[in-house]
Structure 1
Amino acid sequence: MSQSVSSVAPAAFDSEAGAKLSALRRTKFLATAALVLCVVVFAMAKSFESTYPWLGFVAAFAEAATIGGLADWYAVVALFKRPLGLPIPHTAIIPANQSRIADNLGRFIEVNFLAPEPVREKLADVDFAALVADWLADAERAAGLSRFVVRLVPQTLAAIEQSGLRGFVTSRMLEQIDKVPLAPLAAELLSALTDDRRHQKLFDEFTRVIGRFLNDEEALATMREKIREELPSLFNLFRADAYLLKKIVASAGSLLDEVRADPDHPMRAEFDRFAHSFIERLRTSKQYAKRAEKLKRDFLARPEVKALAGDMWQSLSVFIEQDARAENSIVREHLANMFVEVGRHLAGDPQIRADMNQGFVVALSSFVESQKSGVSTFIADQVKRWDLAQLTRLIEMNIGRDLQYIRFNGMIIGGLAGLVLYTAELLFLAG
């Protein structure tokens, strides 16, 4: 009970509650004084009625007003406690029905305030996305959020490492790569390369490589040796090998220069046909597909690939941990800027905000729907824990003044009813 009293007391005894309590006491005093006045008027009117017959009307009014006032006093008091402490049935209604009031109050709030439609309508009035956008767009808040995220990243990486999730993700990634047909994918990539003739740049680079090869002394010496081996000995006496090599190199160099200078050279067209033919075979040939799949499986099966994935993960973890401890963290700075940009873009895109708000409404309304029975039970339990005296005092303090006016009304209505009945009695006797 002490816990319940302490939970209610701060709300019951603030300055506003003190004003309500003073007004209630003043109204109670006036209602009681009016009832006493009715009794006094009734007694005096009865005493002088034989001398002044018209006082019979006053006595009838005062008598009925007294009865009405007493009846309403009883009704008001019976709500909160037993009148005069007597064990009269159906009195102290609120204390006697605390549990039922608590359950009904919780059920009333659940049915009327936490129903799906009112909740959705109320949530729809809130622009959650705008609140998020304003919050993120603030540079200081974004920086604070980035610091919080960066502090959690090393712990997250450590948890992933200890849980074996890294190995699982690596295995799953390799499995998914293994399921991707390599030949059609390579054909699409090469098609994108040939669409705007970028493959011709590769061809130009290939001609430059050959040109550098033809100018390499060691390469020329090797070629001259091969030519000498193929020529008859007589030709070698006249150094025909050097002459042939010089002609070959000069002709090849001249041809390569022509190809690089002429974008419509026949060799370029031939390279185009070769490239398109190769792409088409990659796309349609089963033999090429089998070879590509074998190459892919052999590559993925190599231990170096799995070791590479582990090294990449380790390098990433070390970088993030070191950066998180740095005073001028790069990750933290970029995260803060990203959060600010997200907030600004979100503020300027009404469609995304509308979609986000709809998502918030669905999620929060579903949460309220799943938890509303618990809210009802919580409210009921809290009301049941309230101290009876404090609960009664709290209710009386908030509605008791209006109830006291019922006593005034009871005296007035009762007095008028008594006056009417007295008048009707006199008319009936006179008749």
Structure 2
Amino acid sequence: MSSQNDVVDHPDGVTASADAEKLAALRRTKLAATTILVCCIGLFAAARLLEASLPGLGFVAAFAEAAAIGGIADWYAVVALFRRPMGLPIPHTAIIPANKTRIADNLGRFIEANFLAPGPIRAKLGEIDFAAMVSDWLADPKRSDGLARFITRLAPQAADAVEQSGLPRFLAARMNDQIEQVRLAPLAAELLGAVTAERRHQRLFDELIVALGRFLNDEQALAVMRDRVRDELPTLAGLFRADAYLVRKIVASAGMLLDEARDDPDHPLRLEFDRFVARFIEQLRTSPDYAARAERLKRDFLARPELSRMAEGLWQGLRAYVIEDAGRPNSRIREHLSGLLVNIGSQLAVDPKVRADMNAGFVAMLASFIDSQKSGVATFVAEQVKSWDLDQLTRIIEINIGRDLQYIRFNGMIVGGLAGLALHLGDLLLLAD
């Protein structure tokens, strides 16, 4: 336990030095107040002794007497805050030590209600540009590279933790459930509708024309056609090679028709193709039969064991790549991540909207955290104050506000002296009447 004259120990030398200065100033003020009080008592005694020969000293005696009484009373009031005056067990003295528990609890509640209230906290947090600090930090390549190295070192452990937690299987199951809820036929209709907008499906028709053209120019295909035509013709027609003639005419007519369709955007074949595609899309959108077929196809696809093995293989491949790359000195993941972090910092610096959103997020997150923990902070403050040594607690308070309290003694002597003069003057006036 420290003595009253010891400076409170602090780990911070600057704080200890400041407390030493406060303690020295407090001692000087106490000495001055006590000296003036002693002077008032001495002045009162001297004035009373000489009052008989010098009646005017009655005013001096009245002032000094009242000043001494006021000074003693205020000395008592100030001392009673911190300790028992002259060690006497006088009731309602040593107020601060006697009420340490109540002071600690009230201080904790005061901090919780006034310093940690949501309004002031949000207002104070709103003055801080968190996004700018994050931007400046990330824009430094060395810092971003250090952060990327740290994240990369954690990658293997993170991958193992993810696998052991069953997260991949959970995600796969959730994805399967979500796909199950998707109606495939209307979705396919919407996709095809987007593809056919502005007749973009005519490119498919162009590819069909090219494919048919190649077919008509293929000698093997033409030979098959001639054989089929020969089989359908009478034997007599085969003697005149009518099959070859018919095939040439068919091929020539078909070629001309394809050339016309290729060059004419409004050719009847193209228009018929438009109608066919439109009918097919509408059937996909509305037909129960198409919807049932699409759902069966979807369920059959999702039930395939190959799909599960493929998903598992993808995860294992990704995990192996991450672990292997993270162990390399020139990790590609680390390099890309470092560049990404620097780019994020640079972009954040020039995007006021993103900065505002980020700052709002920081304020909401920190304010919510502080609001959830403020009761704990108040309890912590109260427990810390309760754990302080009584002499230490008294010493801390006295060092910080004791000098101002000593001025109460000066004021008490001045006010008391003036009151004594007023009473003495009133007494003389009443006696004169």
- Whether 1:324 aligns to 2:326 is yes
Written as runs of structure 1 = structure 2, the 5 A alignment for 1:160-171 is 160-171=162-173
Note the 1:316-395 alignment, pairs <5 A. 316-395=318-397
1:412: Cα distance to partner? Answer: 1.9
Q: CA deviation at 1:133?
A: 4.1
- Aligned residue runs from structure 1 range 219-368, under 5 A: 219-232=221-234, 241=243, 244-368=246-370
| Contact 1:133 1:347 (8 Å CA) reproduced | yes
Equivalent residue, structure 2, for 1:397 = 399
Q: Are the aligned partners of 1:8 and 1:386 in contact in 2 as well (CA < 8 Å)?
A: no
> Which residue does 1:113 correspond to in 2?
115
Cα 1:406–1:368 change in 2 (3 A) is same
Residue 102 of structure 1 and its aligned partner are, at CA, apart by 0.6
Shift of 1:54: 2.5
**What is the CA distance between 1:265 and its match in structure 2?**
3.0
Measure the CA separation in 1 of the matches of 2:8 and 2:19: 15
Task: Report the secondary structure of 1:264's partner residue.
Answer: coil
- Cα offset for 1:16? 1.6
Shift of 1:105: 0.8
> Any idea what SS the aligned residue of 2:55 has?
coil
Deviation (angstroms), 1:219 = 4.1
Deviation at 1:277, TM superposition (A): 1.5
Give, in whole Å, the separation in 2 of the partners of 1:414 and 1:167: 86
Q: 1:253 to 1:148 in 2, by over 3 A?
A: farther
Matched, 1:94 2:77: no
In structure 1, the partner of 2:66 is 64
* Contact 2:185–2:290 (8 Å) recurs in 1: yes
Out of 343-352 and 60-69, give the one that drifted further.
343-352
The amino acid across from 1:45 in the alignment is: A
Q: What is the TM-score of this pair, normalised by structure 1?
A: 0.88
Distance 1:231 1:152, change over 3 A: farther
Question: Unaligned stretches of 5+ in structure 1?
Answer: none
TM-score by length of 2: 0.87
Residue in 2 that maps onto 1:207: 209
CA distance in structure 2 between the aligned counterparts of 1:34 and 1:127, rounded to whole angstroms: 55
Please state whether the residue corresponding to 2:54 is helix, strand or coil: coil
Deviations 1:227-267 (A, max 9, x none): 45444555556665555555544554454444334333332
CA-CA distance at 1:210 after TM superposition? 3.1
Change (3 A) 1:328 1:219: farther
SS in 2 for 1:372: helix
For 1:113-132, what aligned pairs fall within 5 Å after superposition?
A: 113-132=115-134
How far apart are the structure 2 equivalents of 1:310 and 1:330?
24
**1:120 deviation in Å?**
2.9
**8 A contact 2:7–2:19 mirrored in 1:** no
Q: Paired residue for 2:24, among 16, 22, 25?
A: 22
The separation in 1 between residues aligned to 2:152 and 2:244, in whole angstroms, is 69
Select the residue among 404, 407, 410 that pairs with 1:408. 410
Q: Which runs of 4+ in 1 moved over 6 A?
A: 5-8
Deviations 1:385-414 (A, max 9, x none): 112112111111111111111111222222
Alpha carbons 2:19, 2:399 under 8 Å: kept: yes
Cα distance in 1 between the residues matched to 2:37 and 2:363 = 57
The CA deviation at 1:174 is 1.7
Structure 1 counterpart of 2:269, one-letter code: M
Counterpart of 1:9 in 2: which secondary structure?
A: coil
**5+ residue gaps, structure 2:** none
Q: Secondary structure at the match of 2:265?
A: coil
Per the TM alignment, residue 13 of structure 1 is displaced from its structure 2 partner at its CA by 5.1
Deviates more, 1:146-155 or 1:75-84: 146-155
**What amino acid does structure 1 have at the position aligned with 2:58?**
G
- Displacement of 1:355 in angstroms is 4.1
Letter in 1 for 2:157: Q
For the 8 Å contact 2:8–2:19, the answer to whether it is kept is no
Secondary structure of 2:422 counterpart: helix
- SS of the counterpart of 1:88? coil
**Aligned residue-pair number:** 429
Moved more, 130-139 or 179-188: 130-139
RMSD: 3.0
Is 1:9 aligned with 2:13?
Answer: no
Q: Distance in 1 between matches of 2:35 and 2:351?
A: 68
Same amino acid, percent of matched pairs: 65
Change (3 A) 1:275 1:8: farther
Residue among 181, 201, 216 paired with 1:179: 181
Mean CA deviation greater in 238-247 or 91-100 = 238-247
Match of 1:41 in 2: 43
Structure 1 partner of 2:157: 155
- Give 2:311's aligned amino acid: A
